């Protein structure tokens, strides 16, 4: 919707809200799964997961800037993230 410039602000906010709602279900469960697989090294597993999340955000943020300064760049990066 955002890529086609249809719907104005609502055409951008509603899909972003849907993706963030789905991430709200995934993000809390990812550490739980990581920690149950390695209970003997729970601190290390939690630190590694946090570092990967932080590093992923730091690596992807410039991609949005390189693609452009509009909602299309953000939509493309978010869609690619969902597919990964």
45-83, pLDDT tens digit by residue? 888 888 998 999 999 999 888 988 887 888 888 888 888
pLDDT at position 3, please? 62
Torsion-angle region of residue 70: left (phi > 0), alpha (psi -120 to 50) or beta? beta
Q: Where are the domains of the chain?
A: 8-83
Rounded CA-CA distance 50/76 in Å is 24
Per-residue tokens: 48: 């590694």
């Amino acid at each position: 919707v955002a890529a086609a410039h249809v719907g104005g602000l609502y055409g951008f906010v509603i899909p972003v809200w849907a993706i963030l709602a789905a991430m709200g279900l995934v993000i809390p469960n990812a550490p739980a799964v990581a920690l149950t697989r390695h209970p003997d090294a729970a601190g290390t597993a939690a630190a590694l997961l946090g570092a990967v999340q932080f590093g992923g955000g730091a690596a992807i943020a410039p991609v949005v800037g390189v693609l452009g300064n509009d909602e299309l760049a953000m939509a493309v990066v978010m869609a690619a993230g969902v597919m990964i």
